[in-house]
Structure 1
Amino acid sequence: MATSTGIWLRRETAPNEQRTPLVPGDAAELVAGGVRVTVEESAHRAFPAVEYEMAGCRVVPGDTWPDALPNDVVLGLKEPSFASSALSHRHVFFGHAYKGQGGGPGLLRRFTAGEGTLLDLEYLTDDTGHRVVAFGYWAGYVGAALAVLQHRGQLIAPLTELTRPELDGRLRGSADGARALVVGALGRSGQGAREALAVAGVPATAWDIAETRDLDREALLDHDILINAVFATEPGTPFLTAADVARPGRRLTVVSDVTCDVTSACNRLPIYQQVTDWAEPVRRLHDVPPLDLISIDNLPSLLPRESSVAFSHSLLPQLTALMSRRAAVWNRCEEHFHHALRMMTSNK
């Protein structure tokens, strides 16, 4: 893997995205270690540019990342804007391109055109295959919180950014007797979901691999709220089907799909085709009995400061390793990228 000369932090262009993978305090540590950090201006980032300037970073206009030096690592969260269709640098972000997602081939073709490399944050793993950085905890927390508020009839659209004390204050309302099921309960997202349910005073049933190997569909449908927090890497038994949605005696009324693998072959909830968003966070899938769906693909953005601080803290040692060639985890990322390119070429 080539030596890097610096890190270029892009602004995010996706709607309602105030998160950042690198907060000013951690950027200051990189600068102190001799890393050149360039930060694009952003009107939406939860941390203003002046905080990065005080940390010793160079601040530049937004969407100027194509001007980064050839060996710079361009860092972000979502796919870069189309200011340059071809991607010629090493880019670090969540690509969502390796599991059959709809936009995957187009993104990979951008890298092919520019001879760049994607180091996908979703595939930044240790020697045992476990992810070393993720927003999962806060995704699960927010996903479960929204499900509880929807079940209580208290979810108000459009959604806006919050702090954790504000969200917890809304959760600590009167108990309504709801029972929740968290699938993928032992992972980061599952842990966050269970914590939010505990704050809300909602009893939670915890399922993980053992409980879903032979799915008890009747038990699943006998809960009021379902939180899907499973990180699936291969196809498997759906947790809900069209027949379950239409079942007359179903108790289940709210589904929060934290995973949002809707366009992937690994999707465990093939009961809908499009995610929801901040403007319309809930979609009614069935009227009698009612079944509401929450499937927002940037849940941690509702708590942008908390989720960014936690993520950046986990990413900092990995960025340090990337800058100093101690990059085994990044080598694995690069291997996944080249494998995806080969698979795309072979499937033509």
Structure 2
Amino acid sequence: MENKLNSESFLEKINLFGLKSLVISGAKKDKLKNVVRIIVLDYSIWIILFGIVMILSSLTSRFLTTVNLMNILLHSSILGVVVIGESICLLSGKFDLSVGSTVGLSGALAAWLMVTGQPAASGWALHPIPAILIVLLVGIGIGLFNGFFIAKVGMNPLLTTLASMIFLRGMALIVTSGESLYNFPPSYQFLGGGTIGPVPTAVVIMLALYIIFHFILNCKKIGRHIYIVGGNPEAARACGISVEKVVMLAFMMSGFLAAVGGILLSSRLNSAQTISGSGMELDAIAASVIGGISLQGGRGILLNTIAGVLVIESIRTGLVLLDVPAFWIRCTMGFVIFLAILMDTLKVKLK
């Protein structure tokens, strides 16, 4: 009788251990599936970009030409620089609507400082290097202004940066007296219109900035703090992180990068116009979200926003090559932004 009980107990133990191993195995499989799903969601934008390129190249033979691809890269470089700053703001849990106007003012200010012999110019004829340094400092100052009132005073990011957007556009009109400034020094034109080998200088600058800020976000303390503050500001405070300081730094980075974008744009066009950068704030937010930066903050991979920028520019260029009317292009871009927001919402739910 005792032997029978022992054998039954032994069998029960084997069964329990077997079930336990099955449960553990099942849990591991579920965890693996979730990891694979998250990886696919995080990097699916590159698959989408490839699909868009294939579709557009099948619709028009002019899309995959070297000239057109270089044109897409050149247009993407300026937006890409601005997107880096916008993405950093989004990662911190905020957003910046003033980047487009900062682009316009930066180009106008640089031109005003350098150009001579034109009615709207300052006549100072500064060398491009000090002119660029002044413009970059102004961009940082704009970001500091926005960040201070949003982080320290507690003003709404939407309304604060909207007010800045309107004010800065007005400042661009004042600086240039509403006129275009042109004929910049060759060294300045090289930044946006030159090439390093076969690659446009602006593309090299964009890629260098992506590498630098990707390193900052992933390998430096301030980068980790940006993610933490964007994901859970209260938890960040509990960990001793200065949320206000982090938000202000995020906006200063955004202002700096928008100023770089303005310099590159005016350099490429060899002119500064008061309307330069108009609407770029919406393109920057769209490219960031398409690239996987969450509107809720704290989530996203900066390098993926390169694909977001390329998606926007590829669709826009492809539709132009297909002779699609301008109003339909705007409708299409609006639909793309809607899909990006929908994908962001679904990704949050799945995670």
TM-score by length of 2: 0.22
Structure with more of its chain in strand, by fraction? 1
Q: Which has the larger radius of gyration?
A: 2
